[in-house]
Amino acid sequence: MQPHRQIKATELIERLNKGENLNLIDVREVIEYLTYNIGGNNIPLPKLESALNSLSYNKTDEIIVICKVGLRSETAQAILEQHGYSNVRNLSGGLIAVQKLK
């Protein structure tokens, strides 16, 4: 198994600011997502495994998983990789790191 790949908040913000269309999955609870988000699909971590069949991503697409500090998204990354997704990146430091840059 490959080491978990991460994406730094600076790179993510840079790519979003350039208008890149990124595959983001925010695994926080709905209320957290509604309070603050940077877009993407909101699929709370407990529901992720059951939602996999409805994802429209290819197994080789880059998918960036995000949460508040990077722990839940790390778990989400492992779940996606276990199901054959090969290009999953975890937002290092989570949305806290993003908010510090804004």
**Which CATH number does the domain housing residue 15 bear?**
3.40.250.10
Report the interhelical angle of 94-101 vs 9-17 (nearest 10°). 60
Name the residue among 101, 76, 102, 100 with its Cα closest to residue 89: 76
Reduce the DSSP state of residue 35 to 3 states and report it.
helix
Q: What is the pTM of this model?
A: 0.95
pLDDT tens by residue, 33-69: 999 999 999 999 999 999 999 999 999 999 999 999 9
pLDDT tens by residue, 57-67: 999 999 999 99
Q: Which domain holds residue 92?
A: 5-101
| Count of domains forming the chain | 1
- Computed over every residue of the chain, the mean pLDDT equals 95
